[in-house]
Structure 1
């Protein structure tokens, strides 16, 4: 089966970024890349802050944050009054967990596709409160219907106090049926936290269409915001129960301001985040999504072919808009966290390519992303050189 042709590049898109041209940046999903226009907007805000810190922090900053939040919430399809800006998904998840007042005997249910830092946050909160963390196993090849049934069977009404599911999984690049999972949990009276780290900018679904009690997504990955910009969206019945991790001077203002205001943080990234949406819209949101997904699919095929993986054995992402794809590595390669980190570093050092490598359920996987600054030739070079590197290891 021939490799499908790559998408046509978006003219001039590569010039919008300040990435090192000697490196193939094929891992946008981990830390994103901030467009030059957004960098400059943030620097102007930093210059303003440093020119008169007292004025910057005490005269209208809360209102400026609120204005930025409303702009970002509108893009996400979320209620701005139920949205709080936070540093990242892990921080948002921690806010939710510590606001639930878990008790001994309560359970937090997750899947084995969850992000490691969120799992650590769950473990810490359970240890602190006496609650229990449970994980259900979802096969990589499970259909949406099977995912729903697996999670349904894992719910324990009366004991499960929170279900955490990913909208698009980080280690396995799999699109989960988030809205269907929320509906199943709601039938059993279980609130749901949706980890949507990769959704803003990549996936077309609005927050409202997911319907979760809690939804948290990063804007610094696929929505071109400065790093440290994420949105925690909370359904109306829960808002007064949400407390910040650190109490500061806006505590009496209620949600969302009391979560957002942390005194002397650098808020310039949040204030500059709408510029990232301007860049995305200037390129064409649908155009960017289609390009990135098609390019990731191309990269998966050419690298998969080079490693001898038949096309039908390449994991399917579960949706045409997904701009992250997995390539299984040879058996025994990168099966643990330490081994995966070592291989990622070796690929970066020897092949000048930044990729994500994960060990998941005893198998190593290469995760490739597609972004407007990438070219098909970058995946072609990796496909030529990676088999030799793996053979030498």
Structure 2
């Protein structure tokens, strides 16, 4: 079966970015790419700081952070008074783990799709508390009903003190029915942290309706914010239990101020984030989502065909808006994290193509992202050259 037609390129979109024209950047999902206008907005904030640092930090900074938080929370359908700006999703995960009481008989439940740094943070927290981390294996692909059933069966009421579930997984680009999973866990009064690192800017979301105890999403991946911008939202019952990882002058004000106020931390990514949302809206968010999802599907198909992966074995996302797609690599390639990193770097060095390569379930997975600066011919060229590169790499 031939690849679907690629979407029409959004006029002028590529000119909004300062990416190296000599590199095909097919990995927006890892670190994003900041539009030039947002870069300039952040630089103006840096210039403002250096013109009078005392004035910037001592006069009105808190109000500006609050205003920004409200703007971002509104975009995500979250309660701004129950939300806090944080540097990234992994920081939020550590905040949550630090705030959940764990004892020796307790456990934190993950899935085998969980992000590596999240799993590491859970293991460290449990090790210090004498608790355990348990991982439930979930198939790929799977129906929503299968995912809900398997997670529900893995819960251990009385022992499971926290469930961490992805809304859209990083390594496997799978969407999870988080609203239903949260409801299943709450039947046993088990709190849930939803790791939605890839959701803001890619998927429409109403955080409040998910009813998770904790929800965190990065703005720097798909919402065009500077790196270092994420939003943590907590349920009302947890507000007084969230303790910042570092104590600063606003500690006595409690969440969210105690979390956001961190002395001389760089606040410019947060304050420039609304410029990223403005860029997204100017391009037309629905148009951006449709373009990116269609282009990712095109890239998956042409690369999959080049690697002779049957169409039935190309994982399909659960929703129409997902801008990351997976192509399984030939057996024996990138089966461990170090091997995946080595292959990713080899592809970058030899083909001038930035991709994501992950090891999952004993199989190497190539993850392709699509953003408005990408073109169909980048995936075509990659598909033409990748088979020979992999053949030589294995030789």
TM-score of the pair, normalised by structure 1: 0.99
1:157-168 equivalent positions in 2, closer than 5 A: 157-168=157-168
Write the deviation string for residues 223-258 of structure 1: whole angstroms up to 9, x where unpaired.
000000000000111101001000100101111010
1:1-393 equivalent positions in 2, closer than 5 A: 1-393=1-393
Instruction: Determine helix, strand or coil for the equivalent of 1:84.
Output: strand
Instruction: Determine helix, strand or coil for the equivalent of 2:110.
Output: strand
Write the deviation string for residues 68-109 of structure 1: whole angstroms up to 9, x where unpaired.
110000001100001100010000000000011211111100
Instruction: Determine helix, strand or coil for the equivalent of 1:50.
Output: helix
Write the deviation string for residues 193-224 of structure 1: whole angstroms up to 9, x where unpaired.
00000000001121122221100000000000
Provide the rounded CA distance (Å) in 2 between the counterparts of 1:367 and 1:56. 41
Residue 316 (structure 1) shift: 1.1
Instruction: Determine helix, strand or coil for the equivalent of 1:15.
Output: helix
Provide the rounded CA distance (Å) in 1 between the counterparts of 2:266 and 2:152. 42
Provide the rounded CA distance (Å) in 2 between the counterparts of 1:365 and 1:91. 26
Structure 1 residue ranges (4+ consecutive) displaced by more than 3 angstroms after TM superposition: none
Provide the rounded CA distance (Å) in 2 between the counterparts of 1:309 and 1:135. 29
Provide the rounded CA distance (Å) in 2 between the counterparts of 1:119 and 1:364. 19
Provide the rounded CA distance (Å) in 2 between the counterparts of 1:95 and 1:204. 25
Provide the rounded CA distance (Å) in 1 between the counterparts of 2:21 and 2:60. 40
Residue 319 (structure 1) shift: 1.2
Instruction: Determine helix, strand or coil for the equivalent of 2:244.
Output: coil
Residue 391 (structure 1) shift: 0.5
Provide the rounded CA distance (Å) in 2 between the counterparts of 1:89 and 1:285. 23
Provide the rounded CA distance (Å) in 2 between the counterparts of 1:205 and 1:34. 22
Write the deviation string for residues 237-282 of structure 1: whole angstroms up to 9, x where unpaired.
1101001000100101111010111101010110000000000000
Write the deviation string for residues 30-60 of structure 1: whole angstroms up to 9, x where unpaired.
0000000100000000000011111111111
Write the deviation string for residues 329-370 of structure 1: whole angstroms up to 9, x where unpaired.
000001111110010001001100000000101000100001
Provide the rounded CA distance (Å) in 2 between the counterparts of 1:173 and 1:358. 11
Provide the rounded CA distance (Å) in 2 between the counterparts of 1:11 and 1:306. 29
Write the deviation string for residues 285-339 of structure 1: whole angstroms up to 9, x where unpaired.
1110111011000000000000001111101121111100000000000111111
Residue 173 (structure 1) shift: 0.5
Instruction: Determine helix, strand or coil for the equivalent of 1:5.
Output: coil
Provide the rounded CA distance (Å) in 2 between the counterparts of 1:318 and 1:326. 13
**Number of equivalent positions:** 393
Provide the rounded CA distance (Å) in 1 between the counterparts of 2:175 and 2:147. 11
TM-score of the pair, normalised by structure 2: 0.99
CA RMSD of aligned residues (A): 0.6
Provide the rounded CA distance (Å) in 1 between the counterparts of 2:269 and 2:219. 11
Provide the rounded CA distance (Å) in 2 between the counterparts of 1:136 and 1:41. 43
